[in-house]
Amino acid sequence: MATAVASPPTSAPPRTSEEERVRAARRRDRINAVAWRLAGYAFFLGLWEFASGRLMDERLLPGPVDVLRTFGELWASGKVPGAFADTLTRIGIGFAIAFVVGAAIGILMQNRLLNGFFRDAVTIGVTTPGLIWALITAIIFGNRPWGPLIAIVLTTFALISVNVAEGIKALPKDLIDMAKSFGVGVVRRNRQIVIPHLAPYIFTGVRFGFSIAWKVTVLTEVFSSSSGIGFEMRTASQLFRLPEFLTWILAFYVFALLLEKVVLEVIERRFFAWRDTIKS
Amino acid sequence: MSATDTRRDTGPADTAAPDTVDELPRRRRSHPVVRVLRSSLAGRIAFPIVCLLVWLLAIRIVTSIWPFAVDVLPTPTQVFSFMWDELTGETLAPRNVYETFGISLRRLGIGMAIAMAIGTVIGLGMGLSKRVNAFFNDWVVAILAMPNLAWALFCSLAFGFGDVGPIVTVVLTGIPFVIINVREGVRNAPTDLYDMARAFGVSRADTIRHVLLPSLMPFMFAAARYAFALGWKGLVVAEVFGGEDGAGWTIKFWYDAHRAYGVIGYALLFVVFALLFEKFLFDRLSGYFFRWRPEVNAADVVEQRFDAPGVATATATADSGNGTHATTTGPKPERGAGGDETRRSHDG
Amino acid sequence: MAEITVRNLHKEFGVGADKIVALDDVNLDISGHVFVSIVGASGCGKSTLLNILSGIETPSHGQVQITEDGRPAAKGYVFQAARLLPWRTVMDNLLFVQKDRSEQTRARCQRYLDMVQLGDKGRKYPGELSGGMQQRVGIARAFSTEPDVLFMDEPFSHLDAITARSLRAELQNMWQETRKTVIFVTHDVGEAVELSNRILVFAKGGHLADDIDMPLPFPRDVADPEVAVAKANVFRTFEQIGALAVS
């Protein structure tokens, strides 16, 4: 008994220090992680810079510094905003059509007959490489503007359909029944339950769809377009200007990544914050 | 759907066939013929027929407006007779379809082997050490988000025509999936089994061989499947730009020859080939590797994961690390990010 | 003869406000071929004690010594869930924990599988067996290493009542035959009374509240009046020391 009584006072002072130790350890862990992440950046960028000109010919593998300098030159030539704008317009229009088509199919798939009808269409849409659509539309439409648009629609609609269908399938029937039992009207039911429930599904579809849409757009531009990022890439590669080529693709890649990672994710987090709070 | 699994509280069961609509009680019994006509099978059969009709109709309409479009628009008969010629070995291309796919397959195999080897090492490191994870994480995400077009074009320019460019493209397209899956496998390590091994004093070597490696197998398998499906797409793009032979190059051959029926026919062959490979080889392998899983047919699980877009690819690839958060918030809040990345790369 | 000595054992988890004391100054001596049950409400530290004894966890402070004739004792473990390798057959699961893979060892494993009436299931995968069968394999695995001390952590708590009862009878027989030292954790007082000849009662906060001898002869049956009386007595002790969960 004596030991039991004696132990709390002796363990009290070390407890706080222990707490501090743990906090310090956590802080150290965080700093460590950041340091290692920076080390990763340094390593890979350094490797890239080192490889260019030493492991591989400088003209074949321009280093990051070269790419930045080329970007400066391209920017100064004034071609960049125009090319970005062309590509973004194309993505915007194509993706908007894909969204409407995809959402419509997703809704129609609730019907059994149409579900069977569209199931294979969706599978084909998900599994067929964008390259194939790009080539087919390019050969049929040449460089008419709707060739790339059709390619974008065909590669992205399925993702939207799948997400919409998933969302509808997972509608919270219990909540809807609850609302019905309280005599809540159709309009309010839709606004308060159905739409908030579907919104995240649709948004996820948009996010994935976008990440695919931009890649396909650039790909189609490579084959059949006289403007846009893909066209600039094709020109640069035909002239064997690797720095320019790399700069175009990297610039748009960084732009798209920022858009989908930062912008879309911030929007998602802001609007759908309730989902995380519910989870925890 | 990996896309949505994060916040879904429902299990994987509801991702099964979407026919559940059938079972709604409100449906009244109707005439059997009507029922057959309304069934999902009827829709499935109708789909190719409608497609063919739309195709023929489109040709009819377009050629009535622009008569000169006849050359550009291929008819279904042209396409199918082209495919038949290819399959029987008669071709105008320098190599027949079997040699062509053989060449591509060899490149894919080499690329996948390299990707699996390197990816496993990095994935193990990232799963075991937070520092290694912090070191590589953003770069894995970056490589994953890179369009394979960029790799393909770059490799064709940098390595010239031949085997190297396509193989490097396959490695670069496939490696993020291997890394992410292996990391996830390490993170989902069965700790209760490790404790068991420790309590019985089993040696380290035996624990690795009988506990660690088998528990990683499903993740490795998922990795191989993804690396195959996406590496294949990447390979074809690479061959289009930097090959002298192979499936991609042959599609480009027909494209350059302005034979639309050739492009479409070859594209169909290509898709069929990938699907067959996927269904037969991978299903066989998964049946063999996961024969210890009698309760759920492992083939089905992996199958669903891969095939049906509506199923979480994320169990294996979850938390692929959405760059900024994976290291700080741990796996749970980011679940689905992996699905994101995976899904995201299902492009051309 | 196995000897277990525990001195001033203390174990806590977490730091600061989250700190939980799992075991508080536990002292114990167990020796010889006894069947010791550790009972108590959930969260009283009984599983922690078992984990420390078996070496899965380490104590915060205090000493634990487990010897067999002066040398470190060999240990076996039966877990709450069977913890079988799902990707290995039943026989390979038994072989996994053996020191060698000789013919003799195989024969021994087969003998213990026979003992739990699964002699013909050696080539099955655990996923093909029922929960009760899996737990039997777990028991056979623990016995098959011929340990000096056997630890069991609520091995029957996941099973239905009928399966659990037949497994308890089997366990009694095996213990009679092999005469190991068994440390058995359970929250089921009836089970403890039926199986053990010594019961350690743990109270909330992780201290050893009582140590009861159970001298009744084996085999016991819960239906026997003597066993029922003993069980009632143990429950009374529980109430006296306030060890029952106030849930």
If you search the block for the tokens 């290819």, which residue do you land on?
Answer: B86
Which of A84-98, C155-169, C228-242 is predicted least confidently? C228-242
Report the C-alpha gap between C213 and C30 in whole angstroms.
Answer: 12
Percent of chain B with pLDDT over 70: 73
Distance between CA atoms of residues B185 and A222, nearest Å: 38
Give the range among A181-185, B115-119, B230-234, B308-312 with minimum mean pLDDT. Answer: B308-312
pLDDT tops 90 at residue B113:
yes
Whether A45 and A126 map to the same domain: the answer is: no
Q: Which of C198, C167, C214, C222 is nearest to C39 (CA)?
A: C198
Three-state secondary structure call for residue C122: coil
Write the class of the CATH domain C1-74+183-247.
alpha beta
Q: Is B198 found in the same domain as B304? A: yes
Which residues in chain A are contacts of B157 at CB distance < 8 A?
Answer: 60, 237, 240, 242, 245
**B22 inside domain:** no
Residues 20 through 59 of chain C touching chain B, CB cutoff 8 Å? 54-56
Tokens 């069947």 belong to C35
Q: For residue A43, which of A59, A69, A67, A64 has the smallest C-alpha distance?
A: A64
- Lowest pLDDT segment from B147-161, B280-294, C138-152: B280-294
Q: C63 phi and psi, to 5 degrees?
A: -120, 145
In chain B, residues with a C-beta closer than 8 Å to the C-beta of C97 are 197, 200-202
Same domain for A82 and A57? no
Sign of CA dihedral A161, A167, A170, A176: negative
Task: Give the H or E element holding residue C209.
Answer: strand C207-213
Closest C-alpha among A164, A169, A132, A125 to residue B47:
A125
Residues A86 and A179 in one domain: yes
> Residues of B with CB below 8 A from A30's CB?
328
Burial of B222 (0-12, 13-18, 19+ CB in 10 A): buried
Give the count of Cβ contacts less than 8 A between chain A and B: 234
The answer to whether C244 contacts chain B (CB < 8 Å) is no
pLDDT at position B164 over 60:
yes
Q: Which residue of B has its CA nearest to C126?
A: B292
Do residues B36 and B108 both lie within one domain?
A: no
- With beta carbons less than 8 A apart as the criterion, state whether B166 and B107 touch: yes
Give residue-wise pLDDT tens across range A43-58. 888 888 887 777 777 7
Helices B97-128 & B164-187, crossing angle to 10 degrees? 40
Q: How far apart are the first and last CA of chain A?
A: 42
Q: What is the model's pLDDT at position C110?
A: 92
Q: Does position B315 have pLDDT exceeding 70, yes or no?
A: no
On whether residue B127 sits in a domain, the answer given is yes
* Whether C88 and B292 lie within 8 Å, measured CB to CB: yes
Residue written as tokens 């994961």? B305
Q: Which domain holds residue A101?
A: 64-279
Q: If you average pLDDT over each of A209-218, B4-13, B318-327, which comes out highest?
A: A209-218
The pLDDT value given to residue C233: 83
Round to whole Å and give the CA distance between B303 and B283.
7
- For residue B26, pLDDT over 70 is answered with no
Of A229-243, B304-318, C144-158, the one with minimum mean pLDDT is: B304-318
B69 and B157 assigned to the same domain: no
Q: What's the total number of domains in chain A?
A: 2
Last residue of a domain, one of A61, A84, A112: A61
Select from A132, A155, A220, A221 the residue whose CB has the most chain B CBs within 10 Å, as the one to mutate to test that interface. A132
Q: Which two tokens stand for residue C155?
A: 């091995």
Nearest to A159 by CA among A195, A206, A199, A197: A206
First to last CA, chain B: 20
B177 & B37 share domain: no
Closest CA to C98 of C87, C110, C116, C81: C110
Domain count, chain B: 2
Q: Please tell me the distance in Å from B288's CA to the nearest CA on chain A.
A: 25
- Percent of chain A at pLDDT exceeding 90: 3
pLDDT score of C168: 87
Mutate: best of A1, A10, A15, partner C, most C CBs <10 A: A15
Are A158 and A180 found together in one domain? yes
Chain A environment of C8 (Cβ under 8 Å): 3
Pair (A90, A217) in one structural domain? yes
The yes-or-no verdict on residue C48 having pLDDT over 70 is yes
3-class DSSP state of A228: coil
Q: Note whether A32 and A130 are same-domain residues.
A: no
- Calculate the dihedral angle through the C-alpha atoms of C83, C86, C87, C90, rounding to the nearest 10 degrees: 80
A135-172 burial, b at 16+ Cβ within 10 Å, e below that, comes to bbbbbbbeeeeebbbbbbbbbbbbbbbbbbbbbbbbee
**Residue C35 and residue C150 in contact, taking contact as beta carbons nearer than 8 Å:** no
One domain for residues A115 and A8: no
Judge if B55 and B198 occupy the same domain: no
Q: Searching chain B, which residue's CA lies closest to the CA of residue A216?
A: B348
Average the pLDDT over C87-102 and give the result.
88
The angle subtended at Cα A39 by Cα A34 and Cα A43, nearest 5°, is: 150
Which chains have 3 or more CB–CB distances shorter than 8 Å to chain A? B, C
Q: What is the DSSP letter of A56?
A: B
Are B287 and B309 found together in one domain? yes
Residues of C in contact with A15 (CB under 8 A): 15-16, 19
Do residue B321 and residue B261 come from a single domain? yes
For A3, the closest of C15, C16, C25 (CB atoms) is C25
Distance CA A18, CA A93 (A): 59
| C-alpha span between B175 and C3 (Å, rounded) | 54
Chain A residues with CB-CB distance to B44 below 8 A:
116-117, 119-120
Contact A118 B43 (CB under 8 A): yes
**ω before C219 within 30° of 0 (cis)?**
yes
CA–chain centroid gap for C242, Å, is 24
Q: Tell me: do A161 and A53 sit in the same domain.
A: no
**β-bridge mates for residue C65, sequence order:** C5
In a domain, B307, yes or no: yes
Residue C105's alpha-carbon distances to B72, B267, C95, C123, C145, in angstroms, are: 75, 59, 8, 16, 9
| DSSP assignments along A65-85, one per residue | HHHHHHHHHHHHHTHHHHHHH
Structural domain of residue B60, as residue ranges?
Answer: 31-73
Judge whether residue A65 has pLDDT over 50. yes
Residues B214 and B171 in one domain: yes
Segment C31-48 mean pLDDT:
83
Q: Kindly indicate the confidence band of residue B2, based on its pLDDT and cuts at 50, 70 and 90.
A: very low
The residue ranking higher by pLDDT, B22 or B327, is B22
* Encoded amino acid at A71, one letter: F
Give the closest of C15, C24, C25 to A22, CB-based.
Answer: C15
Position B298 confidence tier, pLDDT thresholds 50, 70, 90:
very low
Q: Which residues of chain C does A19 touch, with a Cβ-Cβ cutoff of 8 Å?
A: 15-16
Contact B309, A159 (CB under 8 A): yes
Q: How far apart are CA C2 and CA C183, in angstroms?
A: 12
What was the ipTM of the complex prediction? Answer: 0.77
CA C95 to chain CA mean position, Å? 21
- Helix ranges, chain B (H): 32-38, 40-65, 76-87, 97-128, 130-145, 148-159, 164-187, 191-199, 204-207, 213-242, 247-256, 260-277, 283-289, 298-306, 314-317, 326-329, 337-344
Residues B186 and B328 grouped into a single domain: yes
Does B245 lie in the same domain as B265? yes
CA atoms within 13 A on the CB side of B22: 15
Q: What is the DSSP string of C22-59?
A: EEEEEEEEEESS-EEEEE-STTSSHHHHHHHHHTSS--
**In what side-by-side order are the strands of the sheet with C2-13?**
C20-31, C2-13, C61-68, C71-72
Give the E-state strand segments of C80-196 in sequence order: 149-153, 181-186
B-facing residues of C in 130-159 (CB < 8 A) are 141, 145, 151
Angle between the B260-277 and B76-87 helix axes, to the nearest 10 degrees? 60
Q: Is the pLDDT of residue B332 over 60?
A: no
Query: What is the rounded average pLDDT of the residues B66-84?
Result: 78
- The residues facing C63 across adjacent strands are C7
pLDDT digits (tens, 9 = 90+) for A2-31: 334 333 444 444 555 667 777 888 888 888
pLDDT band, residue C243 (cuts 50/70/90) = low
Q: Are residues B66 and B165 in the same domain?
A: no
Cα Rg for chain C, rounded, in angstroms? 18
Q: Where are the domains of chain C?
A: 1-74+183-247
pLDDT at B117 over 90: yes
Q: Measured between alpha carbons, how far is A100 from C242 in angstroms, rounded to an integer?
A: 68
Spatial distance between the Cα atoms of C83 and C87, rounded to a whole number of angstroms: 12
Q: Which tokens sit at A83?
A: 């090319």
At which residue do the structure tokens 């009244």 appear? B28
- Secondary structure letter of residue A42 according to DSSP: H
Q: Is the alpha carbon torsion for A259, A262, A268, A270 positive or negative? A: negative
Q: Are residues A68 and A43 in the same domain?
A: no
Whether the CA torsion A147, A149, A153, A155 is positive or negative: it is positive
How much is the pLDDT for B70?
Answer: 63
β-strands C61-68, C2-13 pairing: antiparallel
Which residue on chain B is closest to C100 by alpha carbon? B202
CB atoms near residue C123 (< 10 Å) = 10
Contact A210, A259 (CB under 8 A): yes
Q: Domain with B263 in it: what CATH number? A: 1.10.3720.10
Give me the residue label for tokens 């911030």. A266
Q: How far apart are CA A201 and CA A208, in angstroms?
A: 11
Strand-pair partners of C208:
C202
Q: Give a yes or no: residue B330 inside a domain.
A: yes
- Tell me the residue type at B127: G
B86 and B39, same structural domain?
no
Condensed to tens digits (0 to 9), the pLDDT of residues B35-58 reads 777 777 888 888 888 888 988 888
When scoring A107, A113, A206 by the number of chain B Cβ atoms within 10 A, the one with the most, hence best to mutate, is: A113
